[in-house]
Structure formats: structure tokens, C-alpha cells
Structure 1
Amino acid sequence: MAPCPFCNIDHSRIMIANDHALAIMDGFPLSPGHALVIPRRHIASLFEATKDEREALLDLLEQTRTELIGQYNPDGFNIGINDGAYAGQTVMHLHIHLIPRYKGDQQDPRGGVRWIFPNKAVYWK
């Protein structure tokens, strides 16, 4: 089994950190500023996180958002967690995607994360 890429992150990649979590830029960004918020403890699911870890993750998510607004000036964000292999999780260490969105990056951004099922994404018609 390959070592976990999030358990031994090079310190130079860390944008912001607290006692329970850290934030890095995504290695395969979907948009400029795509970041990941990751617990320090190796857990696969948000549902395994302690209350303190959840609070730390959300606090760091907010701090990372503030940093990205200052650096990239996005028009919105998608926030996502792939929880489990059948939800698309490929690295089995919890990580929260913070994906900046920009006016014009998609012709019609409505539906956001619902597009994982394209035939169900357009619910407003």
C-alpha cells in the first residue's frame, strides 16, 4: 500500500495551520487558488473527526477562504468532501476542497456540485 500523501506533507506546502489541521494548495487544481484543508490525524471521513477536529477544520476553511479572496479575488466557492470510494474519494485521508469560482468559468454554474449526476443537475426547469 502506498504511503498517505497527506500524512507527510512538505512543510513548504503549508499555507495555514492550526493544532488539528492544515491547508495546502491542491496539487491538481480545478481553478486558480484551489486549496485543501486536511486534518493532521489520519482519518478517512469527516464522520471520524472529533468535535475539536471538526471545529479546527471549519476554522481553517474560513481562514483559507479569506486568504484566497485576498490573493485571487474569486466570485464564489465550491466546498466539497468526497467521503468514501463510491463518492469519488481517491486519497483515504479526509480533505476538504475549497474551490474558487470565477464569473465565466462555466457558461451556467447553476447546480454547482449537483453536476456529479448531470442528468439530475438541472432541477429548476
Structure 2
Amino acid sequence: MRKGHLLIVPKQHYATYFDIPGPTKQAMDTLLAEGKALLDQTYQPAGYNIGINVGAAAGQTVMHAHVHLIPRYTGDVPDPRGGVRKLIPAAVKRLLK
């Protein structure tokens, strides 16, 4: 886990992100922006990943919708190119060519 990794979790239960009603998604988006501002001030990361896993096949292990805000730091991994696209091996091959 990265220093400053935040989870945005609705109070009401929704199994997946796609089950969350619009107003709640909007509130979560506001919290993402507020979380980013806090992390910018506290840790000064070089970038961010925002992650949402939907369903077991996509890696969702907690069946309560949530959004990851993951600060990234220069050198935290050897080669960050591709970000979440690394989940699709063919995309990584194209990216590295």
C-alpha cells in the first residue's frame, strides 16, 4: 500500500460502483478532489491512480463499493508506464514497443 492511499466508501451499502446512485457518486467525486488536495499538501505525490474494481473477475474482494485514490511517487515502481492498463497484457506489449 502506498503512503497516503485513501478509500472513498459510501455509508450505504452498494455492492458495486455501478449500483451507486448519481448523487452519491457526485459526493464521492467531491471527496476524491478533497482527498487529492489533502494528499498534495501532506505528501506531495508526483501523480495518482484512481481505481475501482467491479466483480470478482476484476479483483473486487470487498463486496461493498469503494474507490481507491492512490498517490504515486517517482521511483515507487521500476516502470509505471501503462498504469492500470497493465491488467491487459496485450496493451502493455503495445505500450512498450
TM-score by length of 1: 0.72
Amino acid at match of 1:88: G
Shift of 1:122: 3.6
**Residue 106 in structure 1 maps to residue 89 in structure 2:** no
Percent of residue pairs identical: 48
The residue type paired with residue 90 of structure 1 is T
Q: Secondary structure at the match of 2:94?
A: coil
Q: How many residues align?
A: 96
The alpha-carbon deviation at position 119 of structure 1 amounts to 4.9
More strand by share: 1
User: Match of 1:109, as an amino acid?
Assistant: P
SS of structure 1 residue aligned to 2:12: coil
CA distance in 2, matches of 1:123, 1:102: 24
Runs of 4+ that moved beyond 4 A? none
Q: How far apart in 1 are the matches of 2:64 and 2:41? A: 28
> Alpha-carbon deviation of 1:106?
1.6
Corresponding position: 1:94 with 2:65: yes
Deviation at 1:45, TM superposition (A): 1.3
Flag structure 1 segments of 5+ consecutive residues without an equivalent: 1-29
Distance in 1 of aligned mates of 2:9 and 2:29: 10
Check if 1:75 corresponds to 2:27. no
CA–CA distance in structure 2, aligned partners of residues 95 and 123 of structure 1: 30
Counterparts of 1:49 and 1:114, CA distance in 2: 24
Q: Return the structure number with greater relative CO, CA threshold 8 A, min gap 6.
A: 2
Task: Report the TM-score when normalising by structure 2.
Answer: 0.91
If each structure's helix is expressed as a fraction of its own residues, which one has the higher value?
2
